[in-house]
Structures are given as C-alpha cells and as structure tokens.
Structure 1
Amino acid sequence: MAAPFVDTARITVRSGNGGNGVVSFHREKYVAAGGPDGGDGGRGGNVVVTVNDHMSTLMDFRYKRKYVAGNGMDGQGKRCTGKDGEDLVLRVPRGTIIRDSETREIIKDMSDDTPFVLCKGGRGGWGNKHFATPTRQVPRFAKAGLPGESRDVILELKLLADVGLVGFPNVGKSTLLSVVSRAQPKIANYHFTTLFPNLGVVYVEEGVSFVLADIPGIIEGAAEGAGLGHDFLRHIDRCRLLIHVVDVSGSEGRDPVEDFEAINAELKQYSPELASRKMIVAANKVDIMTDPTLLQRLREHVGAQGLELFEMSAAAHQGTRELMKRAAQELQQLPPVAVYEPTYVERPPQVDTSGEVEIQQFDDTWVVEAPWLQRLIANVNFSDYESRNWFDKMLRQSGLFDQLEEMGIKDGDIVSLYDLEFEYQR
C-alpha cells in the first residue's frame, strides 16, 4: 500500500543552547601565577533545512512534530573550548515553503540548493580567560551560554512544475502524463483515481524538456473546499503554463463547453492571477467521440477567447506529441518558475524584564545575570543600530541601570552581560 500524500505539516523546531564558560586557572609545576585559562562554551546546534530531490511528500513530518538540535558542551580548563552542538538537518521536498505558524508569512521558499538556517544555536558563554586585565588578573567568574531559538512553523509543499494539467476527474490527465513521460500514475475509469499530484519529465527533443504535473481532478466548489481539488490547487500556483484537458467524447453525457467554463471559474475563484495564466486546451478522447458537434462547439468557444485547441487521444497516443511540442514552444516565451520572496519580518521579542537580577562586583567589573537577560540578548542583532537602541531601552525600562547606580557603579566601569561587555556611562 502506497504511503499517503502529505503536503502540509505544522512543526516546532528549537536550536541548541550554548555551553557555559568555565572558571579555571593554569596549574603547572614550576610555573608561578599561571593565570586564568577557562575555555568558552560550545555553540548550540543550528536547525538547518535542505532540499532533498528524492522526497515528494512531507510524510516524514506527519507523526513527529518537535525537532531539537544538540546543545553546546561546557568549556574546560587549559583554554579548551567546549564542543559545538550537533546541527539538526531537516530534509524537505523541493518547492516546500516555510511559513510562520502565527502570521502565515513566508520565511523561506526551499526551491534552490542552498541550505537555510531556520533557528540559530545559542552562543557559547565566555570562560574566565576573556576577563583577565592588568588590573584584574584573577577573574573568578565566567558566563553562561545563551539559549537557542524556538519557532513554530508550517511546511507547505507547492510542486515545482513548468506545466500543470487541469480539468474534471476522469478526463484523461493521468493517461496523458503516463504517455508523454515515464511517470506511472494510477489510472482507472472512475472519478478521483488521482488522489495526489504526480510529476513527470517530458523529453521533447535533444536539450528540450520540462516538468509536467498531473493535478487531481477539480470539481465545482473546489475553491471553497469541495472534493479533492481544494487540497491540491496550491500545486499549480507555480506552473508557467496550464493544459486544460476536456473530454469531448460525450461518453458520460457531459457538455465540454460547460466543463471548460466550470473549471475556469474555480481557478479564478482560487486565484485570479492563476486563471489569467497562459493556457492550451486539449480536447481528449476524440477517438471515441460520438457527437462531432461537441468538439466543434468547444473549438469555437475557446477560439473566441483567443486560446489554442489541440485534438488528441491520450489512450491512443494520438496528437500527444504535437501537444507537448507546442507546450515546449510556449515555455520558451514564458518567465521562469515563480520563487516566493520572504514576507516574514522579525519582531522584537516579548521579554518580561520583571524577574530577579543577580549582580556581582569584581573590582571595576559588574557581572549581571538573569534568565530574562539571556532571552533578551539572544534576540538582539548587535550589528544593527536600531536593535542596539532597542536593547538599551529595554535595559533602562527594566530598572537595571538604576539598580547598578544604587550599588555604586561609576562611569567607565565594565558591565558584563553574558558575552557582551560595555563601559558604563550615565
């Protein structure tokens, strides 16, 4: 039994925490005043997303919803840095879009081969070797590592295909795909044979090929959730060209013109931009056609809309090669497959600064530690001027500077916040 097709998944990812720095002093016979040699903690592991072209579904994420990278190891004496946490690599099918679960904004479109760091590991804490100065030769403090990032995201697969086959169920889309490519979709004479999208590569001639997608049959009301079409309309979002397959045989008593307009109405309701995309009409099953007027009416109807119609029979391999050649010609004139630009904007973290703060004085250095301070520093980009201003504002609002002044801090003293140090100025 084939595994079910899964094209959406909601998961939680968390990068590893940074390891703690260590307090250590060099001890060696005949070496006086060896000095501090405490090593730094290792970096926490990142959560990295990569593309795997052997995957065609998000099935791997159906049952496991939480993914955590490795923590960094603590530092050691002799200036030994702790081992970095192991990165967690998530492999997804090409064309997977990563969205923020709360806002549904696009974080990354995994359509290229570049690995994407979804969550950065926490920075390792500094060992006491960093805090030795001419006036502070015996620093008896080190820094804890910073926590990793955590995110709730939605994975959404949008197939990367050049051409999409659309139409009602049982009009011959799967048969056409099997004839013009090496794909082997399930084919039978009943509705909804295709339960998930199928992809095939069509080789037209030397150096000319394209990817063709067979989308499950769309029915009226699909854009509102009826039938299977609603679940899979997203997979034709990227298609540069649509081939609208219409059954003109009359074997099921259907009207080709009504079918053609019904499908176009569903596409327009789902996405007006998609409905306006370049389209070729394929009149299928002409070999068993009982009423030639059905084909003639469809030809006149699509011709009035400026669309090209091809007569064909996928089952009899009749007209299929001509249709694929025409599709390849059209693709040469069309822009490349769409890649979605990120729309996600990082927002300042909501950090409760009302928790307790531990402050220790070592000569002219004031070491400040607090769980909320860890979270705050981990979410600040110190290379960005606005981020630094926001960080300073949060520290002042927390009352930290007032507390330091009450304890006697002076201008020019060093304030040490985990792996961040700065001179205090009123």
Structure 2
Amino acid sequence: MSRFIDRVVLHVSAGKGGNGCSSVHREKFKPLGGPDGGNGGRGGNVILEVDENVHTLLDFHFHGNAKASNGTQGMGSNRDGSTGDDLILRVPDGTMVLDKDGRILADLVGPGTKFEAALGGRGGLGNAALSSRARKAPGFALLGEDGVERELVLELKSVADVGLVGFPSAGKSSLVSVLSAAKPKIADYPFTTLVPNLGVVSSGDTTFTVADVPGLIPGASEGRGLGLDFLRHLERCAVLAHVVDCATLDPGRDPISDIDALEAELAAYKPALSADSTLGDLADRPRVVVLNKADVPEAAELAEMVTADIEARGWPVFTISAVSRTGLRQLTFALAKMVEDYRAAHPKAVARRPIIRPIAVDETGFTVIADPETPGGFIVKGTRPERWVKQTQFDNDEAVGYLADRLARLGVEDALVKKGAEPGASVTIGTVTFDWEPQTPAGVDMVRTGRGTDARIDQVERIGATERKHAHRIRRGLEGLEPEDQ
C-alpha cells in the first residue's frame, strides 16, 4: 500500500576528491623527464531536482542516506583522475529544503528546478602542478578534499490552485471525489483523511487542481489534531474554500461558528517559510464558502438562513450536496473563474537560464587563539590553513616542508611569534597537532635534496610522528585509558 510522506530527514554526502599523483616521467633515451603526476578528480555533487512524476518523499523515508561517488586518483603521464558522478535526487514539486537548524536553504517549485545540496571535494594537485623554480621535481602530491556532509530536512507543500478546509467529516473528500477523478478514502468518522488528496478539475477551457487537506480543529495552529502537520499544504493555494457541514449534530456548532473557528486558525498559522515567495499569509487569500450536505432538509434550511450573513463578509456562498451533486456546476465555474483571475494577476514566470554570480570568499583570514586545554599551546583557525593540513601527507618530509612554506607565506609564523609562542609549543590546525619549531627556515629557498625529503626539517631534532601522537594523547587525557573507554 502506498504511503504519503511529506517530511523527511536526509543525510547527504558529496564525493571525496581524488588524490594527486607523484610521478616522474621515465622513457628510454629521455633523461630528466621531470614530474608528470596528474591531478585528482573532483568528487561528485549531490543535487536535488524537481520531477513532475514524483509526488511524495516516500523514497527518502526508507533511504535517508545519499552519497555521491568519489573522484579517482591522478596518474602518471599527466593523466588527471576522473570526476565523480553527480548524484541527482528526484523530489516532488513544492519541496522546501531546510538545514538541521531550520534555516531555509531552497524552495523548489517548478519542474527542473535544481539545488546543489552538497558539493564534492576538490581533487589534490599532482607533482606536475606543484613544480616550481624552487621545487623542480616535487616528490609529493596533495591529498583530495573530503566532500561536504550535511543533514537536511525536506518538507513537501502541495502545489494546488484550490485548498479545501473544514472540520472533520465536513465532506471535503466527497467533494474532491465528485469534482475530479480522485478516489480518496471516505467514511463516516472523523479524521478519515490522514494525507492531503489532490484532484484535477476541468471547467470549460480551465483546468485546475484541488487539494483536500485533513480536517482542522480549534488549536490546529498550535499542534492539536492534524492541522499543524498539514496546514503548510495550504500555503501555495490561490483560493481557499471553506467546506461547512450544515447537517452536523454536534452541540454548539453552526456554520458561522465553524467558519470563525477556521478563520482564527488560518490567521494564527505562521508559515515556516517566513519569506515565502508564493502568496503571502493565509489570511489574505481569496475565500469561497461551500455549504455542504444540502440533500438533508434541515441542512438546506440552515444553509438558506446563514447565506446572507456570510455574503455580508464579501465571500461568495454556494449551497451544494456532494451526494446528490446539487450545485456542483455553479461551484466549479466559480472556482475556475477565481483561479483564472489569480493566474492573470500572477502570470507564470518564464523559465530562464540560470545566472551564475560568483560570490567572493575571503579565505586569506585566519586567527590564532590560545589552546584552552593545553598550557602554552595555540589553535590556528582559518579556511586555508585547515584545508592545507587536510591535503598534506605527513609521512613525507617534503610535503611537510611545503606546508610550512604555505603557512609562512600566509603569515601564520609571524602571528604565532606575536602571540608569544615558544619553541616546542603545541600548535593545532584542524585535526592535527604538532610542535612548533621557529628555527626551521620556512618560506625561503630550499636546498635541493632527495625526493620526499626536506633538508630544513633534518636540521632540527624534530619529534617523530609516533612520539607526537603519543604526546598529543597524553595532553588530551586519552593515554592510559582502556580501548572501550576511549
């Protein structure tokens, strides 16, 4: 049995960039071929795209994790790695994308609309791209960057022209079934409808859609009943139709009080999309009142009594019976006219080519702060330093020297001196902690040595990687704990 799902949590992971290649051209009778390592390929993106053939978020309910493919590693002979394939996720029209904090990221309306949910990581540079006057044949390459990982909330808002609102058992589902070919569940108990039902109605040359939203009750805007879950499906409707049960036997209820209660809930409901580009507040939408169940004699008399009072509010009133189909023709033509008026006042936007406006990103800035957990230690925060550390092969001295040169040119060395860093101070960049050695002449021309080595690093008594890791665990209080406690 199919299920209607209109809110899901989706975990997306873009592909990782491929590592660069460290290679030297070797060919008979061609000595000194030079570096020829290619760059790694970019990781694939995760893209959400509106598909008019998709009507629910059911697939994401059962498959809440999506990951794009990784880029491949660069190869010798200047061959770059291939780019990872983008993962395109099909979503229904009217899907709204939020982050885990509730901030609006995208409002996907219209077939073909796309949103890049997660960007793939950049591939690492090969040693051919890293060669320079100082490093004519680098013995290292850069690692690829990880793709973006994020948690998204997808909410579906039905895209319909007319929204039917009313108390439970008011006859909304019956009205949709006789106006269109839709076959919603109909029964004689409240809250029969648990999901919105959409039907397509044709009236002359006009075709429009009608949404039957589950019954509202007083307090729906505050979470009572089903209203809070489904009120958002009314946000995109051009016309709201009050379906009133004139044959109800509930004491204290009458058509006027039902309308007033529903109007209070619509006015109190605040759309999650505060800057929605659709139609504004629900209280400002055109209204039509449908007095249903006129096939019951007492209901027909009550409808005749309250018609004048409702018309005094400026709303058109129609007395109908979904069972005997009385008054449906007049109602259909009236709804079609209201929808046509709306469409004339709000012409459909013509699809345009996307305009790319690059946004300047300042990645040169960084900050140096004292490490609150390590006395005399410092933490360097910044987009570039953290990215460079992730790209570095720390088992390659030449790669470490290249990282030191980049940090020195950025000004990290001078900033640490100004902060009062002492030789051997613990410095953390991203997830890596190392001991600062200011006597290492970073940023100057290096002495040519073997591939994968750096003579400047050999000039100091640098602690090995294993010892640095051991000291780091002691500073963090992890040394000496049992494996299950770490």
**Interval of TM-score (by shorter of Structure 1 and Structure 2):** 0.7 to 0.9
Distance in 1 between the 2:334 and 2:90 partners?
Answer: 36
Contact 2:216–2:226 at 8 Å: present in 1 too? yes
Contact 1:161–1:337 at 8 Å: present in 2 too? no
Contact 1:257–1:297 at 8 Å: present in 2 too? no
Task: Give the counterpart of 1:231 among 192, 212, 229.
Answer: 229
Query: Which segment drifts farther, 15-24 or 126-135?
Result: 126-135
Q: Could you tell me which residue of structure 2 aligns to residue 419 of structure 1?
A: none
Q: Could you tell me which residue of structure 2 aligns to residue 323 of structure 1?
A: 331
Distance in 1 between the 2:179 and 2:324 partners?
Answer: 12
Amino acid at match of 2:204: E
Distance in 2 between the 1:109 and 1:398 partners?
Answer: 45
Contact 1:96–1:157 at 8 Å: present in 2 too? yes
Amino acid at match of 1:367: Y
Query: Which segment drifts farther, 69-78 or 403-412?
Result: 403-412
Q: Could you tell me which residue of structure 2 aligns to residue 385 of structure 1?
A: none
Unaligned runs of 5+ in 2: 272-280, 350-358, 368-378, 422-435, 447-486
Q: Could you tell me which residue of structure 1 aligns to residue 262 of structure 2?
A: 263
Contact 1:238–1:337 at 8 Å: present in 2 too? no
After TM superposition, list the pairs within 5 Å mapping 1:153-192 onto structure 2.
Answer: 153-192=152-191
**Structure 1 residues 292 and 91 mapped into 2: Cα distance closer, same or farther (>3 Å)?**
closer
Question: Cα distance, 1:3 vs. partner?
Answer: 3.3
Q: Could you tell me which residue of structure 2 aligns to residue 221 of structure 1?
A: 219
Q: Could you tell me which residue of structure 2 aligns to residue 380 of structure 1?
A: none
- SS of 2:295's equivalent in the other structure is helix
Contact 2:21–2:126 at 8 Å: present in 1 too? yes
Contact 1:248–1:289 at 8 Å: present in 2 too? no
Amino acid at match of 1:209: T
Task: Give the counterpart of 2:244 among 237, 242, 246.
Answer: 246
What are the superposed Cα offsets for residues 44-65 of structure 1, whole Å, 9 maximum, x if unpaired? 1111111232332222222333
Question: Cα distance, 1:78 vs. partner?
Answer: 1.2
1:367 aligned onto 2:394: no
- SS of 1:353's equivalent in the other structure is strand
Distance in 2 between the 1:211 and 1:394 partners?
Answer: 61
Q: Could you tell me which residue of structure 1 aligns to residue 34 of structure 2?
A: 35
Distance in 1 between the 2:347 and 2:233 partners?
Answer: 12
Q: Could you tell me which residue of structure 2 aligns to residue 377 of structure 1?
A: none
**Structure 1 residues 84 and 282 mapped into 2: Cα distance closer, same or farther (>3 Å)?**
same
Distance in 1 between the 2:414 and 2:237 partners?
Answer: 53
1:14 aligned onto 2:22: no
Question: Cα distance, 1:321 vs. partner?
Answer: 2.4
Question: What root-mean-square deviation, in Å, do the aligned CA atoms of Structure 1 and Structure 2 show?
Answer: 3.6
Q: Could you tell me which residue of structure 2 aligns to residue 56 of structure 1?
A: 55
Distance in 2 between the 1:211 and 1:313 partners?
Answer: 20
Q: Could you tell me which residue of structure 2 aligns to residue 421 of structure 1?
A: none
What are the superposed Cα offsets for residues 59-113 of structure 1, whole Å, 9 maximum, x if unpaired? 22223333222221111111111122232222221111000112x1110111121
Could you tell me the TM-score, scaled by structure 1's length? Answer: 0.80
Task: Give the counterpart of 2:340 among 326, 332, 336.
Answer: 332
Work out the percentage of aligned pairs sharing the same amino acid: 40
Distance in 1 between the 2:176 and 2:15 partners?
Answer: 45
Distance in 2 between the 1:191 and 1:299 partners?
Answer: 26
- SS of 1:332's equivalent in the other structure is helix
What are the superposed Cα offsets for residues 99-140 of structure 1, whole Å, 9 maximum, x if unpaired? 0112x1110111121222111100001111112345643222
Structure number with greater CO (CA < 8 Å, separation at least 6) is 1
1:212 aligned onto 2:210: yes
Distance in 2 between the 1:393 and 1:48 partners?
Answer: 37
**Structure 1 residues 399 and 361 mapped into 2: Cα distance closer, same or farther (>3 Å)?**
farther
1:295 aligned onto 2:298: no
Q: Could you tell me which residue of structure 2 aligns to residue 376 of structure 1?
A: none
Unaligned runs of 5+ in 1: 340-344, 374-390, 414-426
Q: Could you tell me which residue of structure 1 aligns to residue 109 of structure 2?
A: 111
Contact 2:134–2:445 at 8 Å: present in 1 too? no
**Structure 1 residues 404 and 147 mapped into 2: Cα distance closer, same or farther (>3 Å)?**
farther
What are the superposed Cα offsets for residues 278-319 of structure 1, whole Å, 9 maximum, x if unpaired? 100011111223254421332122122111101111222222
Distance in 2 between the 1:326 and 1:399 partners?
Answer: 78
Amino acid at match of 1:407: T
Distance in 2 between the 1:398 and 1:212 partners?
Answer: 66
- SS of 2:402's equivalent in the other structure is strand
Q: Could you tell me which residue of structure 2 aligns to residue 286 of structure 1?
A: 294
After TM superposition, list the pairs within 5 Å mapping 1:133-144 onto structure 2.
Answer: 133=132, 136-144=135-143
- Who wins on radius of gyration, i.e. which is larger? 2
1:84 aligned onto 2:92: no
Q: Could you tell me which residue of structure 1 aligns to residue 441 of structure 2?
A: 408
